[in-house]
Amino acid sequence: MPVKEAIITVKNLVAKYGEKMVLDHINFDVFRGEILAVLGASGCGKTTLMRHMIGLNKPYSGRIMIDGDDITSNNDTEFQRALRKIGVLFQGSALLGSMSIGENLSLPIAKSTGLPKKVITGIVRMKLCLLNLEGYENYLPSEISGGMKKRAGLARALALNPKILFLDEPSAGLDPIISAEIDEMILHINQYLGTTIVIVTHELDSIFRVAQRVIMLDKEKQGIIADGNPIDLKNHSPDPFVIQFFNRQAKPLKAQA
């Protein structure tokens, strides 16, 4: 069996907001080419972890390596080099409302590459075609549906051909059919582009459809309580809370006095 290569390494990460501890010395790798889901109950630190992994938050202590570059160091060159390797789809898609879909995609390409406008236009059309949005270059975000906004945000996250894609709740607020379409696109991107994908989500249907591996965070323990294949964890985890989470089991109601 070939040895898996880590493209992201999180080592002894401590995350705090003021004096409030959120993540306490957590360690894990993300392997090249895999789809990893980060999950857990509300308030467990999923979004906090992602914000640290994409460089929006600085850790209290610990290190995060992105494809060999340390984004937690004080070396700005190393930090910028790491950022060029990632793309991010935020939960609300974060499209600029005053710009067309095509302009939203063109902006990061023009800023980072200096390519001629004609070449950028061609790249934009290719990315939109990949996400089944051909012909929507001139539409404003307010003129398309919620599912199309997610796909447009995903296309923009792919604009610079990142090695790693971070997705924050990609199915949130979407109906089951559109959610399934987003899942299929995530699988397509992973399989045909070889992109490593990290998804922050609590949508179990999506987790079972796309995730090859999950890490589960716990608010009380301030760290990782499960790491493995979601089906295996659903059926065989030694942790009762993990079993409960994956099988959608409610906590027993307390008896009335």
Per-residue pLDDT of 58-71, as tens digits, reads 999 999 999 999 99
The reply to whether 26 falls in a domain is yes
DSSP β-bridge partners for residue 61? 14
Closest CA to 39 of 209, 159, 217, 212: 217
Residue 203 — pLDDT band, cuts 50, 70, 90?
confident
Token pair, residue 127, equals 């990315």
Check residue 76 and give its pLDDT. Answer: 86
Please check whether residues 70 and 176 belong to one and the same domain.
yes
Token pair, residue 53, equals 């992994």
pLDDT tens for 149-173 read: 889 999 999 988 999 999 998 887 7
The reply to whether 244 falls in a domain is no
User: Which pTM value belongs to this model?
Assistant: 0.90
- Give the range of the structural domain holding residue 79, as residue numbers without chain letter: 1-85+164-224
Check residue 67 and give its pLDDT. Answer: 94
Please check whether residues 42 and 153 belong to one and the same domain.
no
The reply to whether 187 falls in a domain is yes
pLDDT tens for 166-201 read: 999 888 778 888 889 899 999 999 998 999 999 998
Check residue 254 and give its pLDDT. Answer: 58
CATH of the domain at 56: 3.40.50.300
pLDDT, the chain, mean = 89
Please check whether residues 14 and 114 belong to one and the same domain.
no
Asked whether the CA dihedral 37, 185, 194, 165 is positive or negative, the reply is negative
Please check whether residues 54 and 117 belong to one and the same domain.
no
Please check whether residues 58 and 114 belong to one and the same domain.
no
Check residue 90 and give its pLDDT. Answer: 85
Tokens 């990460």 — which residue?
Answer: 13
217-to-79, 146, 222, 248 alpha-carbon distances in Å: 26, 29, 7, 16
Whole-angstrom Cα distance, residue 6 to residue 28? 9
Check residue 4 and give its pLDDT. Answer: 85
Chain-centroid distance of CA 248 in Å reads 23
Please check whether residues 2 and 27 belong to one and the same domain.
yes
User: H-type helices in 84-145, by residue range?
Assistant: 101-113, 117-130
The reply to whether 245 falls in a domain is no
Please check whether residues 31 and 147 belong to one and the same domain.
no
Please check whether residues 111 and 218 belong to one and the same domain.
no
The reply to whether 49 falls in a domain is yes
Please check whether residues 80 and 196 belong to one and the same domain.
yes
Choose between 2 and 115: higher pLDDT.
115
The number of domains in the chain is 2
Please check whether residues 103 and 153 belong to one and the same domain.
yes
pLDDT tens for 212-245 read: 999 999 999 999 999 999 999 999 999 988 999 8
pLDDT tens for 72-110 read: 987 888 888 888 899 999 877 778 889 999 999 999 898
Check residue 147 and give its pLDDT. Answer: 86
The reply to whether 256 falls in a domain is no
- Check pLDDT > 90 for residue 53: yes
Please check whether residues 65 and 177 belong to one and the same domain.
yes
The reply to whether 246 falls in a domain is no
Please check whether residues 147 and 216 belong to one and the same domain.
no
The reply to whether 127 falls in a domain is yes
